[in-house]
Amino acid sequence: MLHWLRAQNVALLKDVSLEFEAGLNVVTGETGVGKSILLEALGLILGVRGRSQLVGPLADRAVVEAGFTAPDEEAPDRERFRALAREAGVSAEDGDLVIRRELRLVPGRRSISNRITVNGTAVPVAVLRALGVILAEIYSQGEYLALLQPGAAREAVDDAGGHAPLRREVAAAFRALRAAEAERDGLQERLTAATVERAEMERALEEIERAAPQPGEVGGLLEERRTLGHAEQLASRLESAYQALYGSDSAVGAQLAVALRALEDAGAIDPRTAGLLDGRPDLLVEVEDLAAAVRDRCDSVRAAPERLAEIEDRLVVLRGLERRYAGGAGGADALLERAAELRAALAELTDQAQERRRAVAAATDAAARYRDRAASLHAARGAAAAALATGVQGELAGLGIPRARFSIGIEPLSGEPGSGKAGGTAHFTEHGLDRVEFLFSAGPEMAPAPIGEVASGGESSRFFLALKAAGAGKGGVATLVFDEADTGTSGRIADAVGRRLRRLAASHQVVSVTHLPQVAALGRAHLAVEKLESGDAVRVRTLVGDARIEEIARMLAGPEVTDSARRHASELLSGAGVDAPGGRTGGLAPEPAGH
């Protein structure tokens, strides 16, 4: 609910303060006095684009401030309001909102800068605009016309149909879908980026495995190469050793065989001599084994050139792999460690590919669930739109537009079957898959078209009054502002406009700019806009008692107010349930300083 509004140096408003009440607030004043500026000032508070022409002559800036009550716990937009406040860092725990907007002229340019605060916290225009949609709706001409706001028709249909639960399901399905798609796309990006890396890892692992390095292999090869570098000397010494062990009649083996036979013969004569060999190894076998090993080693050393070539080739392979895949150090052990790392990395990529397949399936399922919920919402909208259109059509006749034709068009968003772009989810929204439009024509000879394109300002205001009266907006914003919804009406129609405004005021705060005394008399609060005698500024007064009778009499009779007009004004107020002049304090409410 809007409690107060203050405008400083806003066009002709030097310093104007207004207070609003619950129920119906009426704003009156002569034509051209500046009532529209008040609506522009309120529009600035709700996030409408500022104009340099709104900065008055008193300074290089214009300031508008307003006080609201935030949506209460039962309001349908309460959660959306809380989320916006959290995002913007705005504290609103006590339920009060003070919005301040300053338009400052940019020196040397025909443009303005904005400074906006909500409860003292600076916010961008986009946040103010989002908050404004929750706080109030203005039904008037110009860019802040509520029907021109994106989604206005959709919101009205959903509100009239009570689609909040379905809307929450669709929004939840939409969020789940986008989360599933984000996971899927993230996995795909990682897999795509790893495609080249995977091929390189597979090639590296294949080379290492083909080389089949062994633990400690490089060190062993280097030792063997050093040994084989002295092959001739080594072979000569091995040959000498073999000859000494077993290669001649005087060798150790031959002499040992003679000694063993002599001992055996002596043992046959002397048992004590026979015992000398008890528990000793077979010395001759040991010598023969050693001689055979020396001979084999000698043979291998004699083949040194071939083995040296093999060692060099092997070292080239291992060191090349070491440089490419192990940082040029660590030998075969480092290559084995790198191979283990590559296997683990490739296994992880395989797991990611499986995860991506799972994520693709999950995103497909989420899209199917979203489409199912969106289809249910679409069907509900069709039924609600038909009922609402019938109700609005009936209300328009009672509001003085009897030949008007009204319907609600619901078309699929691009991408759905029938739109020519089937498939994909880019066009999905948290609000569903429908484009909803109000189609209007003032008479049967005109084809219905989007109402923002064909309706006049007065028709637009009355149309929205009809829309609200037909049931749209039962759970909508707390404050509704109508700019001259009674334009072009009189008598019975004017009374019908007023009664509908008052009926709306039973569940909303309503602010109505009016030229008709019948409507003005129905207001719970009456604000009058007047030009000062200097003509260079206006003031706004809250009228009560005799002052209110005088204003309504002026609306009835014109500049020359008669006693008959005053009596008629008193009758209008009495008929509206407002005591005149005694029910409310007579005279004028105190004016803000500076008027």
Q: Does residue 420 carry a pLDDT above 60?
A: no
Give residue 4's pLDDT band: very low, low, confident or very high (50, 70, 90). very high
| pLDDT mean over 139-147 | 57
Given this model, what pLDDT does residue 542 score?
A: 93
The mean pLDDT value for 191-207 works out to 73
**H or E segment at 323?**
helix 304-325
Highest mean pLDDT range out of 101-110, 429-438, 452-461?
429-438
pTM (predicted TM-score): 0.62
pLDDT digits (tens, 9 = 90+) for 280-308: 668 778 888 888 887 887 777 665 667 77
Which of 79, 75, 74, 72 minimizes the C-alpha distance to 97? 72
pLDDT at 510: 92
Q: What's residue 369's pLDDT?
A: 95
Q: Residues 22-69: pLDDT tens digits? A: 999 999 988 777 788 888 899 999 988 888 888 988 888 999 999 999
Q: Cα 542–32–568 angle (5° rounding)? A: 55
In the beta sheet, which residues pair with residue 139? 482
Q: Which residues are CB-neighbours of 143 under 8 A, at least 6 positions away? A: 48, 49
Torsion of CA 210, 214, 216, 221, to 10 degrees: -70
**pLDDT at residue 370, rounded to an integer:** 95
Q: Are strands 525-531 and 538-543 parallel, antiparallel or unpaired?
A: antiparallel
Query: What average pLDDT does the structure give for the chain?
Result: 81
Instruction: Return the higher-pLDDT residue of 493 and 236.
Output: 493
Pairing of strands 449-450, 479-483: unpaired
- Higher pLDDT pick, 164 / 77: 164
Residue 581 has pLDDT above 70, yes or no: no
Longest dimension (CA), the chain: 173
Task: Indicate the SS3 state at residue 273.
Answer: helix
